[in-house]
């Protein structure tokens, strides 16, 4: 059965997509994905909230007033107050800055270290690949949250050490991803040509190999931010991350868990904030993967 003839507009659009660069073509596909745009909107909202939190929050992070403790949500206190009389709405807004900062910094650290190790392992191979790959295997042999707890227990329970722990446990994810990408890229003709003309390995790695491996880093990074925020919240809930009075969402849940029946709003709103921001980054990451991963093309 013959295929229906394509309209001139469809043929012109397909020809335009073929002539576009991979980044422009990926951006066009991303804009057509409504779910990905919803994720981008959620992430953008929380980023704006984090940036403007000092100006839009009605109260500070630790302004206590015991005379209004455990007030339910109202027109005056949108998210109610906690057992110290602090405005939950203000603390959730300030918590957006704290949680997003931890998520972004942890992912940047793990992406930089993991990518460098993955590039070295994939490009040089042999004993370099063996040592680095075994290091990744050792880190992946432990459940991520247990490894993070162990690192924080060694370094000491605070937000900075929690950030370091989250970065460490995510290094193998970036390293193995970039290693597999480099193994295919280094066999390309332009890499062989660069070697033939005597170009230094460092220049080949940072001028050719790394730029052509950025797409999976960006996609993995967007998904890893969601995981990092969850892990930071888990450590905060276990009192191994942010410490009082820091308004980190996980720590807020931990401090309010005894108020589940008496004042459920003290847990509901920080929990909703965690759920929404993680959902946003997951939708954004899925959209970036669908748009920029060559394997997803049909």
Distance CA 224, CA 26 (A): 20
The total of other beta-carbon atoms located within 10 Å of residue 12's CB is 11
Distance CA 80, CA 264 (A): 10
Residue 18 pLDDT > 60: no
Nearest C-alpha neighbor of 99 from the set 288, 278, 268:
278
As given in the structure block, the two tokens for residue 206 are: 């940072």
Give residue 123's pLDDT.
77
Q: Could you read off the pLDDT of 95-123 as tens digits, one per residue? A: 888 889 888 999 999 999 998 898 888 87
Residue 208 DSSP label: I
Give pTM, 2 decimals.
0.80
- Please, how many CA atoms are within 13 Å of residue 72, restricted to the half-sphere of its CB? 4
Task: Report the SS3 class of residue 167.
Answer: helix
Task: Report the SS3 class of residue 239.
Answer: coil
Q: Could you read off the pLDDT of 45-89 as tens digits, one per residue? A: 999 988 888 888 777 777 777 778 888 888 888 888 888 888 888
Distance CA 223, CA 107 (A): 10
The total of other beta-carbon atoms located within 10 Å of residue 15's CB is 10
Give residue 105's pLDDT.
92
Distance CA 248, CA 64 (A): 17
């Amino acid at each position: 059965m013959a295929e229906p003839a394509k309209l001139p507009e469809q043929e012109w659009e397909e020809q335009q997509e073929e002539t576009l660069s991979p980044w422009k073509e990926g951006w066009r596909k991303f804009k057509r994905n409504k779910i990905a745009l919803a994720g981008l909107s959620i992430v953008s909202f929380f980023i704006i909230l984090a940036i403007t939190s000092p100006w839009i929050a009605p109260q500070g992070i630790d302004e206590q007033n015991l005379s209004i403790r455990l007030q339910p949500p109202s027109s005056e206190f949108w998210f109610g107050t906690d057992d110290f009389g602090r405005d939950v709405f203000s603390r959730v807004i300030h918590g957006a800055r704290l949680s997003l900062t931890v998520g972004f910094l942890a992912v940047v650290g793990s992406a930089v270290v993991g990518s460098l190790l993955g590039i070295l392992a994939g490009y040089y191979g042999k004993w370099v690949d063996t040592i680095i790959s075994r290091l990744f295997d050792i880190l992946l042999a432990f459940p991520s949250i247990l490894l993070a707890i162990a690192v924080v227990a060694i370094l000491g329970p605070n937000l900075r050490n929690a950030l370091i722990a989250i970065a460490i446990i995510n290094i193998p994810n970036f390293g193995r991803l970039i290693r597999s990408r480099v193994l295919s890229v280094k066999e390309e003709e332009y890499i062989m040509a660069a070697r033939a003309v005597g170009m230094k390995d460092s220049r080949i790695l940072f001028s050719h190999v790394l730029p052509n491996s950025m797409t999976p880093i960006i996609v993995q990074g967007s998904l890893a931010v969601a995981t990092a925020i969850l892990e930071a919240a888990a450590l905060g809930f276990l009192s191994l991350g942010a410490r009082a009075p820091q308004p980190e969402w996980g720590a807020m849940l931990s401090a309010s868990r005894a108020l589940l029946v008496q004042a459920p709003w003290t847990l509901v709103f920080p929990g909703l904030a965690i759920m929404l921001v993680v959902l946003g980054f997951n939708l954004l990451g899925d959209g970036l993967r669908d748009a920029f991963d060559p394997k997803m093309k049909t």
